[in-house]
Chains A and B, each alone.
Chain A
Amino acid sequence: MNDIVKIGSRLAIICAVAAVVLGLANAVTEPKITIMKKMKLEKSLEQVSKGMKIGKFTPVKDSPVVKGYYPLTDKADKRSGYICKLTGNGYGGDLDIIAGISVKGKILAVILLEDDETPGLGKQAEHASYMTKYIGTGEDKPVPVRKTQLSQKDADAVTGASITFMGIGKALAAGSSYVKKLGGE
């Protein structure tokens, strides 16, 4: 019994010291990480807004994919679209996406904000060029969610990372449908 207590208490002390050290490391790095994430979000919003005025963020609670949206207005103060914060399912976990979508559901711009995809494969989705296959879809053309909906060149490009491609596609399709339901209100 004494032996178990001794062993357990020594392991507990090691864990406690590790927790204190990690707490200190977090206190030093956390403010810097928060500032950087905020700056990154602002820059990304600017990029997907396509020069339109960004309104106040509205959280969405009734959708598993659409986490919220920023309304977009043009120079005449007319509602021209939305920036949606979306969560897709990737190979390595959640995919945090922001997408500029017109009031008719057309995908205007997409940025993958956060992901844990495989370097060299799913992580390719972080490049702006990866998103071109989704741009312009959602209104007349469906958002691609299967490789068969892509050109041979685009299908080859997503080989080895089909789950990432489908995860982004399904999230954008859900975002496009949600915006259509909002109907420019």
Chain B
Amino acid sequence: MLKEFTKGIFKENPIFVIVLGLCPVLAVSTKVINAIGMSAGVIFVLLGSNIFVSMLKNYIPDKVRIPAYIVIIASFVTIVQMVMEAYAPSLYKSLGVYVPLIVVNCIILGRAEAFAKKNTIKASILDALGMGIGFTLALLLISLIREVLGAGTITIFPIGSFSGVIKIPVLVDEPIRVFGLSAGALLVIGFLKAFFNWYSEFKGARS
């Protein structure tokens, strides 16, 4: 059962291995705080949709399973959107159109269709958590590289007198701006994907 949880983190990482949900990853990975907010939203929706799809798998007729999954996923996304707008407005503003777009994030529908509809609620929860954490780690890594190189900062939550922005000496004055743009996102994801491919082959060859 533990395998269902751990597979999403590395072996079947949704970004670097399955290559799902890249559009929001490219768009929101300009700041670490965006990655944290987006990941929290995706984990919540993934968990909620996996639980409900698994729970209702015998009730939902096969012919209308995709519309039914979309209704379930869209409901969770709308709840995330409302809660974020009410309690984290700056994050909501920063993520913009990518919060409602979680509805069409391939990871969510992909896991409902490929896993939750065939498995128990317990296994679906572990799958959602594993995939969600895998997505989070990938998004955090990409956004950390992009923000450090592209802006010379690391933006997290403000706490007390701390503004939430850590400035990296030298880079903050002379950042490599391309990493903040779309081209930089593609470059970073490409190199990380290449590293994952190499590591998987290296590990396979050794074993």
Contact = CB atoms under 8 A, between A and B. Distances in A.
A binds B: yes
Interface of A: 6-7, 10-11, 14-15, 18, 21-22, 25-26, 28-30, 32-33, 36, 92, 115-120, 123, 126, 160
A29 B97 CA distance: 19
Contacts of A14: 56, 60, 68, 71-72
Contacts of A32: 86-87
Given A11-B68, A14-B72, 10 more contacts: A11-B61, A18-B75, A22-B78, A25-B82, A29-B82, A33-B82, A119-B98, A123-B94, A160-B181, A160-B182
B206 interface: no
Contact of A118 (B63, B86, B96): B96
Given A22-B75, A22-B78, A25-B83, A119 B96 contact: yes
Interface of B: 27-28, 30, 34, 56, 59-61, 63-64, 67-68, 71-72, 74-75, 78-79, 82-83, 85-87, 89, 93-98, 180-182
Contact of A6 (B61, B68, B71, B78): B61
Given A18-B71, A36-B89, A119 B28 contact: yes
Contact of A117 (B59, B68, B96): B96
28 contacts: A7-B63, A10-B59, A11-B64, A11-B67, A11-B68, A11-B71, A14-B71, A14-B72, A18-B74, A21-B75, A22-B75, A22-B79, A25-B83, A26-B82, A28-B82, A29-B85, A32-B87, A33-B82, A33-B85, A36-B89, A92-B96, A115-B96, A116-B96, A116-B97, A119-B27, A119-B96, A120-B30, A123-B96
Contacts of A18: 71-72, 74-75
A26 B180 CA distance: 35
Nearest to B100: A116
Contacts of B89: 36
B78 A25 contact: yes
Contacts of A26: 82
B34 A119 contact: yes
Contact of B27 (A115, A116, A118): A118
Contacts of B97: 92, 116, 118
Nearest to B65: A11
Nearest to A122: B96
